[in-house]
Chains A and B, each alone.
Chain A
């Protein structure tokens, strides 16, 4: 636990590498829009680049990868509620849309 009492110390070279990768990933996600990819290809590319960027920031810049398992579990488990809520609200949104088209159109 010596690393925890003294704080997170990692070589600068690691930060520079991650920094570079984040720049490349950002440029790639911008290219998705610039090249006007559409449909499934666009959405999957957006999500892949987003999760890669978020994962790098969280695990390296925020040192999450080196925190003790107890802390990691305590912080990650509550966020599992988010995908469930996303699913509920997507279903609800589709229902609202269908109702609007059925009863408000024309």
Chain B
């Protein structure tokens, strides 16, 4: 080991040595590596959903419903396109900010601030899911959109919409539960000896949920 370290290491030499040596390849917390591996696999799942959506949208011969109109809200008699989705986007970004702050305060050992910041993150996530539930019921009840068809145009709109936003909403719901559990455990002092890497790992998951929403927002709602 000392011999290896004494040599000057370049960018790629570093990678080759890390992977070929008979030792730990990723010199980071194992829980973090596992979360990253899970997130890469989740990236593939969401990619498949979005690629499937792209494929059926390209091949649909009927007109695709105008998302700008479908997701419009009427505020004070005024018709504002895509407003609900914009609010949901801002809520999720805000929750990403509070999560990043929670990671910072956790490493500083400020358990109280970490607890409240994580609870705030979970509350914003809960708000997001609530607005999604409102969006779904509005689409099902008022617009008559079903997974197998809708009165606005291409039948594939409903199936891809419910599948993609449903799966994302499920991730947000899971994240809210995950955040709440870790926040309570932080407060109870379960990580005082182990260290607060768990907050960073929970944060990775939460930021990923926001990351996926960036792509859904661009491809499903704006495109």
Contact = CB atoms under 8 A, between A and B. Distances in A.
Interface of A: 1, 4-10, 12, 15-16, 18-19, 22-23, 26, 29-30, 32-34, 36, 42-43, 46-47, 49-50, 53-54, 57-58, 60-63, 67-71, 73-75, 78-79, 82, 85-86, 89-90, 92-94, 96-97, 100-101, 104-105
Interface string B1-45: 000000000010011001100000111110001001000100110
A82 B51 CA distance: 9
Nearest to B204: A62
Given A26-B90, A43-B223, A61-B207, A15 B97 contact: yes
Given A9-B104, A15-B100, A62-B207, A75 B40 contact: yes
A89 B96 contact: no
Contact of A7 (B19, B29, B207): B29
Contact of A1 (B27, B93, B107, B204): B27
Interface of B: 11, 14-15, 18-19, 25-29, 33, 36, 40, 43-44, 47, 51-52, 54-61, 68, 81-82, 86, 89-90, 93, 96-97, 99-101, 103-104, 107, 195-197, 200, 203-204, 207-208, 210-211, 214-215, 217-218, 221-223
Please report whether the interface of chain A is mostly helix, strand, loop or mixed according to DSSP: helix
Contact of A15 (B60, B101, B215): B101
Contact of A30 (B44, B82, B104, B200): B82
Contacts of B28: 4, 67-68, 71
Contact of A82 (B47, B100, B107): B47
A94 B47 contact: no
